[in-house]
Amino acid sequence: MNQMSAIQLWQAALGELELSISKANFTTWFKNTFVSSFENGRVVISVPNAFTKLYIEKRYHSVIQKSLQNALNAPVREILYSVDSRLPAPEPPPTRESLAPVQAAPNWKAAAVAESGTLSGTNEFGLRQSYTFENFIVGKGSELAHAAALAVTEHPGVKYNPFFIHGGVGLGKTHLLQAVGNRLLERNPELKALCVTCEQFTNDFISALRSGHTKEFRDRYRSVDLLLVDDIQFITGKEGTQEEFFHTFNALYQAGKQVVITSDRPPKSIGTLEERLRSRFEMGLIADISAPDLETRIAILTSKCQEHGWSMLSRDVLAMIADTVQTNVRELEGALNKIIAHHEFYNLQPTVESVREVLATFSQNQAKKSITPKQLIHTVAGYFDLNIDDLLGKSREKKLAFPRQITMYLMRTELKSSFPTIGDELGGRDHTTAIHACEKISKVLENDERLRLDMEAIKERLYTGI
Ligand code: ADP
Ligand code: MG
């Protein structure tokens, strides 16, 4: 078995796992785990200690199995968890206390790395070194954004400030954002760069407020030469964070420091964004990335194969993959990894036919399936990390009542269930409760971008069956 493919396999499985459990649990339990071998339908996962082994085995075995099977596109008969004491132990699981104010001044750098998850392999600046200009394949859809990003690296803080990149998921926004950071650091290792997701910025800000460390927070964010903020659309609806970001931005801008921002939509389409922040975003350079065309998709696949030393895929096979997977680059990479893993697992030489077979199940998984109310309930419960009895139970606690209403809403919109059926399925409630829930959620959705994104994520999980 080839070492690379074990890593690829686990990365692919982790990618799915990450979507199906809460972020805190994911980081806690899957940090420092890896696949140490896989053959003949048997996968060995190395974990750092016996406690993690016990916990993962008990709680996550079936999701792990599902994710591995999906990644391999083959049945996994047996999963063994083996303790590898050379691995660093994970932090304790998140508890209520961990939400309490921190006592000492937080270690920002460490926090940034931990937040983004060590699995993504980011360095102290929050950058992943593999995202470079060198391995970014330029195509029609990304030409402009790529050229603009390069221009930013030529004259940081001068010409294009802020630089705002927007585009759909998996099209290379994060890659370009990080490439700017990596290039500038390469030129000047003394540069103070910081790359965070909007979520990290928000969390840092909130914990600074709670712990009374706002000065440290400001010192940290306002003293950098380069601030890279990923997925800024998540700032919607968070007034305090918007205000703080506005001041952070102004401080950096006035000091001639470069700011680069990504978003899944242009500034004008980010709902509930303060006008003054929107106009800041619009005063620099805005570039969008759109989906790559066929030729670019082939070039991307070729480049990824070279990167990994996969020489077994012929040009015809690559062209077929590129032709089949048209959505985005992330999916394209996912399909490629799956094909490689599948063929290595069975020790097969990939042919157009065998790859087509793997791709057929890949697109089947992506196609909409008919969903049952039970599956929907299960998915929502999993998404919010709730237990099904609680979700269907009587408690009106917000952390249960809101997901319950979301379930009812999705049952109406996705499954087209009648209100009485919805009431029945949701623990025998009256149909008026279902009507009220659906009305409420559609109302909230009008202004709450975050909920909209949650809905998308739940639906994605629902239809991909992860
Ligand atoms: P986004 O942030 O837009 O959702 P990412 O930057 O995370 O997308 O890209 C998804 C994956 O696809 C990453 O692994 C990235 O390296 C790869 N990728 C995206 N665009 C390109 C490209 N033009 N050339 C090479 N790899 C790309
Ligand atoms: Mg991204």
* 25 has pLDDT over 60: yes
Q: Tell which one of 175, 325, 331, 332 to mutate to probe ligand 1, the residue whose CB is within 8 A of the most ligand atoms.
A: 175
How many domains, in total, are found in the chain? 3
Ligand nearest to the CA of 176: 1
Q: What is the pLDDT of residues 94-147, one digit of tens each?
A: 333 333 333 333 333 323 333 333 344 688 899 999 999 999 999 999 999 999
Q: What is the pLDDT of residues 150-205, one digit of tens each?
A: 999 999 998 899 999 999 889 999 999 999 999 999 999 999 999 999 989 999 99
Of 203, 195, 220, 229, whose CA–CA distance to 127 is shortest? 195
- How far does the centroid of ligand 2 lie from the alpha carbon of residue 197, in Å? 9
* Residues forming a β-bridge with 81: 45
> Alpha carbon of 262 to those of 161, 162, 199, 227, 293: distances in Å?
13, 10, 13, 12, 22
Mean pLDDT score, 359-380? 76
Answer with the one of 308, 325, 360 that is the final residue of a domain.
Answer: 360
Query: Is there a domain that residue 135 lies in?
Result: no
Q: What is the pLDDT of residues 238-258, one digit of tens each?
A: 889 999 999 999 999 999 999
Amino acid (one-letter) located at 266:
P
Query: Is there a domain that residue 20 lies in?
Result: yes
Question: What DSSP character marks residue 114?
Answer: H
Q: Whose CA is nearest to atom 4 of ligand 1?
A: 170
- 97-100: long-range contacts at Cβ-Cβ below 8 A with a sequence spacing of 24 or more? 100/210
How would residue 27 be classed by pLDDT, with cut points 50, 70 and 90? confident
What pLDDT is stored for residue 257 in this prediction?
97
Exposed / middle / buried, residue 101 (Cβ in 10 Å: 0-12, 13-18, 19+)? exposed
> How far is Cα 258 from Cα 154, in angstroms, rounded to an integer?
11
* 357 has pLDDT over 80: yes
Query: Is there a domain that residue 435 lies in?
Result: yes
Whether the model clears a pTM of 0.85, i.e. scores above it, the answer is no
Q: Tell which one of 196, 234, 329 to mutate to probe ligand 1, the residue whose CB is within 8 A of the most ligand atoms.
A: 329
Query: Is there a domain that residue 455 lies in?
Result: yes
Judgement on whether residues 159 and 285 belong to the same structural domain of the protein = yes
* Mean per-residue pLDDT of the chain: 85
How would residue 37 be classed by pLDDT, with cut points 50, 70 and 90? confident
* Residues forming a β-bridge with 229: 196, 261
What pLDDT is stored for residue 49 in this prediction?
82
* 334 has pLDDT over 70: yes
Domain carrying residue 276:
143-289
Axis-axis angle for helices 239-254, 198-211 (nearest 10)? 100
> Is 196 strand, coil or helix?
strand
Answer with the one of 240, 274, 289 that is the final residue of a domain.
Answer: 289
Q: What is the pLDDT of residues 421-445, one digit of tens each?
A: 899 999 999 888 998 999 999 999 8
Q: What is the pLDDT of residues 4-13, one digit of tens each?
A: 478 888 888 8
Query: Is there a domain that residue 191 lies in?
Result: yes
Relative to the CA of 303, which ligand 1 atom is closest?
A: 25
Judgement on whether residues 270 and 301 belong to the same structural domain of the protein = no
What pLDDT is stored for residue 99 in this prediction?
33
How would residue 466 be classed by pLDDT, with cut points 50, 70 and 90? low
What pLDDT is stored for residue 87 in this prediction?
60
> How far is Cα 256 from Cα 220, in angstroms, rounded to an integer?
16
81, 56 contact by CB (below 8 A)? yes
Q: Tell which one of 127, 330, 336 to mutate to probe ligand 1, the residue whose CB is within 8 A of the most ligand atoms.
A: 330
What pLDDT is stored for residue 377 in this prediction?
95
Judgement on whether residues 148 and 285 belong to the same structural domain of the protein = yes
Q: What is the pLDDT of residues 205-234, one digit of tens each?
A: 999 999 999 999 999 999 999 999 999 988
What pLDDT is stored for residue 363 in this prediction?
63
**Portion of the chain with pLDDT greater than 90, in percent:** 51
Query: Is there a domain that residue 134 lies in?
Result: no
Answer with the one of 241, 267, 289 that is the final residue of a domain.
Answer: 289
Residue ranges around ligand 1 (CB below 6 Å): 135-137, 142, 167, 169-175, 300, 329-330, 333
* 464 has pLDDT over 70: no
Query: Is there a domain that residue 133 lies in?
Result: no
* 39 has pLDDT over 90: no
Most confidently modeled range among 170-179, 370-379, 448-457: 170-179
123, 129 contact by CB (below 8 A)? yes
What pLDDT is stored for residue 465 in this prediction?
60
Question: What DSSP character marks residue 426?
Answer: T
| Lowest-pLDDT choice from 38-47, 65-74, 80-89, 266-275 | 80-89
Question: How do strand 42-47 and strand 34-39 relate by DSSP bridges?
Answer: antiparallel
What pLDDT is stored for residue 400 in this prediction?
95
> Alpha carbon of 217 to those of 103, 257, 409, 432: distances in Å?
15, 17, 39, 47
